[in-house]
Chains A and B, each alone.
Chain A
Amino acid sequence: MPHLEPWQNFSCLGALRPGVPNPGLRDPHPVLSLSWSELSFCLRSQVVLKIIKHYQEEGQGSEVVQGVLLGLVVDDRLEITNCFPFPQHTEDDADFDEVQYQMEMMRSLRHVNIDHLHVGWYQSTYYGSFVSRALLDSQFSYQHAIEESVVLIYDPIKTAQGSLSLKAYRLTPKLMEICKEKDFTPEGLKKASIGFENMFEEVPIVIKNSHLISVLMWELEDKSTAADKHELLNLSSSNHLEKSLQLLMDRVDDLNQEIVKYNTYSRNLSKQQQQKHQYIQRRQQENAQRQSRGEPPLPEEDITKLFKPPQAPPRMDSLLIAGQINNYCQNVKEFTSQNLGKLFMAEALQGHN
């Protein structure tokens, strides 16, 4: 199934003819060059609710659901005030429709005074597996166009277990550099000294509400009759753990393959080095012999043409996989620490009996 690329749509918008008024698109705002640590980030409740609802309705099954985040940059804060979902990619010719859809949506939202500034995008994830090439590409294009954009990752399965799992990520400036130059060889990465920990940085999320929404919250609390559910304190968790470990094992296998590839490459390279040395030595010996016999030496041939160095395998994939493994491990650790707490509580409860 073709994967939806939101960045493609966005770059298409730039191809519109200049001089034609585009009422629905983002106004050029002065690019704020802020350091990464200064920019804090807040979110309106309705964005959270909309994302949850979108996944709930359209995302059953392991298809990811995606959408666009709208908001504005105020002082040193990035505020996300609204969002709208993308339809699922069903037909192949829906590509152009996506651009249309986005433009229409933003134009319409502008009419009702909703901030139409494109500040990022959101995606749902399956057990935390979102570190992929597609995500990297999309986020890079977004960040290239808008400096402050973020990608919100919503984990519905973790949320269903009791705690809202919404994380915001951005690419580090180092990674942006590398993506710009498209230099994924080992040397390139070494230069920038990127490890899998420096790829994405997490931005802490703060939920902010206006007074009116607070009033609404009080009302709903009053009227709401749904019983309090305490899934968070649920002890039966082995299913989730099993799944996570399964995915972790798959990724480790992938990483293993990448490593094997890299090893064969380095072995080939070293073999080639040896061959080069041998060749040069033989050449010199022959030249010495010929000189002693008084014959003209053999012409120096271009060694590099004889021994073409093997292609260095791109390191990006293994970096991504390492990042993904790291993510899985973090999730698993968080999960186990919560479960240990719950088990000790259960013990205390039993002890009283």
Chain B
Amino acid sequence: MSVFGPVVKIHPVVLASISDSYERRNEGASRVIGTLLGTIDKHSIEVTNCFSVPHNESEDEVAVDMEFAKNMYELHKRVSPTEVIIGWYATGFDITEHSVLIHEYYSREATNPIHLTVDTALQSGKMNIRAYVSAQMGVPGKTVGVMFTPLTVKYIHYDTERIGMDLLQRTRLATTRTKGLTSDLSQVGGAAARIQDMLTTVLAYIEDVLSGKVTADNSVGRFLMDLVNKVPTISAEDFENMLNSNINDLLMVTYLSNLTQAQIALNEKLVLEIKMLPVIYLFSLALP
């Protein structure tokens, strides 16, 4: 059986869902399990979705509601037909014997499923996220066992996800863990502030290098060259022209949209306040 190249790419939405289902687990359950959905590539597995499956676990037996899992998979398939079952996840640090059983079941659903563990109990002070794939081990012909070999885990985002994540990241800094969505110029201000921070760090580094505190690193120097050269050298006059024409465009558009808003407001007023119907009012708005 083919062993996949050791890269598992996870989207943040999967981890968020896992944490959420962990928080909602039933009384007495120490961990939560669920199915992972995604796509398989030649050398990597991309995990894009997941859903939790109810299960009961006790000392010597484990019961998983497989009907439920199948149903949910069907439902999810309706929305995104390209996602397939690629494995399952469990919260908790270790892999128990029960996991082996569950893994066996999942091998019937998917070829070579992966197993993801998310340590939500934060046993080692961090939330360890690991992925495993099972491999046969032991003496062939006699006792055969199953071993879980770890895989590398990477996190990937779509572009829009990255932007969403940026905003969500800022919630962790607020004390009440909440954040409102800002709009308008304040966002540009925020982005500019971040770039300024980065520039200060770079400047501090340069100062250190110049005063001899840190040895100069050539690759960093090359990056800095790139950075400085990125600002295009245009003659001041040309730049003025470009800037002015852009500003003119934007101002014109602002003026036009204000005008439009004023006119529809006016129209509104006329229609609503009109008492004598014989008043005929025709207005036309022509945009260039």
Contact = CB atoms under 8 A, between A and B. Distances in A.
> Is B truly associated with A?
yes
Interface of A: 42, 44-46, 48-50, 52-58, 81-82, 84-88, 97, 101, 104-105, 108, 111-114, 156, 159-160, 162-164, 166, 186, 189-190, 193, 195-196, 204-221, 223-226, 228-233, 238, 241, 245, 248-249, 252, 255-256, 259-260, 262-263, 266-267, 269-270, 273, 315, 318, 322, 325-326, 328-329, 332-334, 336-343, 345-347, 349-350, 353
A212 B243 contact: no
Given A104-B75, A208-B171, A337 B271 contact: no
Contact of A205 (B180, B257, B267, B279): B180
Contacts of A341: 185, 188-189
Given A45-B168, A48-B164, 9 more contacts: A159-B160, A162-B163, A208-B177, A211-B177, A217-B168, A224-B157, A230-B194, A248-B287, A337-B184
Interface in B213-249: 231, 233-234, 236, 239, 243, 246-247, 249
Contact of B185 (A105, A204, A338, A347): A338
A233 B253 contact: no
Given A45-B171, A160-B159, A340-B247, A82 B20 contact: yes
A197 to B, nearest CB: 8
Interface string B154-177: 111111111111111101100001
Given A49-B161, A159-B163, A329 B258 contact: yes
A112 B177 contact: no
B260 A53 contact: no
Nearest to A186: B271
A249 B287 contact: yes
B75 A210 contact: no
A53 B13 contact: yes
B285 A256 contact: yes
Given A52-B164, A114-B24, A207-B171, A333 B231 contact: no
5 contacts: A49-B165, A52-B158, A108-B68, A112-B54, A216-B127
Contact of B231 (A186, A233, A349): A349
Interface in B176-224: 177-185, 187-189, 191-192, 194-195
A171 B248 CA distance: 37
B272 A195 contact: yes
A164 B163 contact: yes
B80 A108 contact: no
A233 B15 contact: no
A56 B164 contact: no
B188 A164 contact: no
Contact of B160 (A46, A156, A334): A156
B141 interface: no
A205 B181 contact: yes
Contacts of A221: 169
A329 B129 contact: no
Interface residues of B, number: 104
B79 A58 contact: yes
A325 B17 contact: no
A57 B154 CA distance: 20
Interface of B: 11-13, 15-17, 19-26, 48-49, 51-54, 65, 68, 71-72, 75, 78-80, 82, 120, 122, 126-127, 129, 154-169, 171-172, 177-185, 187-189, 191-192, 194-195, 231, 233-234, 236, 239, 243, 246-247, 249-251, 253-254, 257-258, 260-261, 264-265, 267-269, 271-274, 277-285, 287
A113 B24 contact: yes
Contacts of A193: 272
A159 B11 CA distance: 18
A334 B155 contact: no
A56 B15 contact: no
Contacts of B161: 49, 52-53, 56
A255 B183 CA distance: 29
Nearest to B159: A160
A104 B71 CA distance: 8
A106 B195 CA distance: 45
A53 B171 contact: no
A233 B71 contact: no
B89 to A, nearest CB: 13
A45 B16 contact: yes
A340 B254 CA distance: 11
A204 B182 CA distance: 10
A214 B167 CA distance: 13
A174 B255 CA distance: 31
Contact of A48 (B23, B126, B168): B168
Nearest to A50: B13
A229 B52 CA distance: 33
